Amino acid sequence: MTGFFELVGAWHKHSWAWFTRHAQSRHALWWLALVAFTDALFFPVAPEVFLVALIIAHPDRLNRYLPVAIIATTLGALAGYGVAAVLFQQFGEPILQWYGLGGAFEHARHFIEGHVFWAMMVASFTPIPDKVFIYAGGFLGAPLAPFIAGYVLGRGARMALVCYLARHLGPRILDILGRYLKIAGLILLAAVVYYGIVHFHLFGL
């Protein structure tokens, strides 16, 4: 998984100029939809980076950008679920191996097998990329309703948080996300796991 984060870091450095330039384009909404859709499948840069560029360029258009991003990433998640359910060995597995996410996929599988809704909702706040959970859900044939509901709530909350912070902090939000999001995600994940253990009386608790 370290290789994936190194790859993402390199992409972020090279893509920020592209995002800021296309944030001024009249086709910005279409570019946002494309980035959000492909991120759920294979693209290594999260659409939140583009959202930051868009909000900085046009802070008054937040209510237009956020719904487009959420809808597009949801459609991408459905497509990724379908790919993993039908063509995992042909497409899903090679993508995960190329990013060095094979081990993360196994962790996501175990988490989803227990609690689909919670796994997908928390996925956006963990160090493991969302696409790993998406492929794991499709591969396992997870129930679609809790799968997509959890994904929409989790990813929607993350996108909304990023938009809010971008509007108030500007470009500094990228450094803040890179520095603190993984730590906050691990804390949130630990809290959810603890709640699940206690709530469902696992391990005799």
Give the count of beta carbons closer than 10 Å to the beta carbon of residue 17: 10
Q: Which domain holds residue 19?
A: 2-204
Alpha-carbon distances of 120 from 46, 130, 145, 163, rounded to whole Å? 16, 8, 11, 21
> Phi, psi at residue 126, to the nearest 5°?
-110, 165
Q: Give, for all 205 residues of the chain, the pLDDT tens digit.
A: 444 344 444 445 556 667 777 777 788 899 999 999 998 888 777 888 888 889 888 888 888 999 999 999 999 999 999 988 887 777 667 777 766 656 667 767 777 776 889 888 888 887 778 888 898 888 888 889 999 999 999 999 999 988 888 888 776 766 666 555 555 555 555 555 555 555 554 444 4
Q: What's the pTM?
A: 0.72
Q: At 142, is the secondary structure helix, strand, or coil?
A: coil
CA nearest to 152, candidates 134, 139, 127: 134
- The domain tally of the chain equals 1
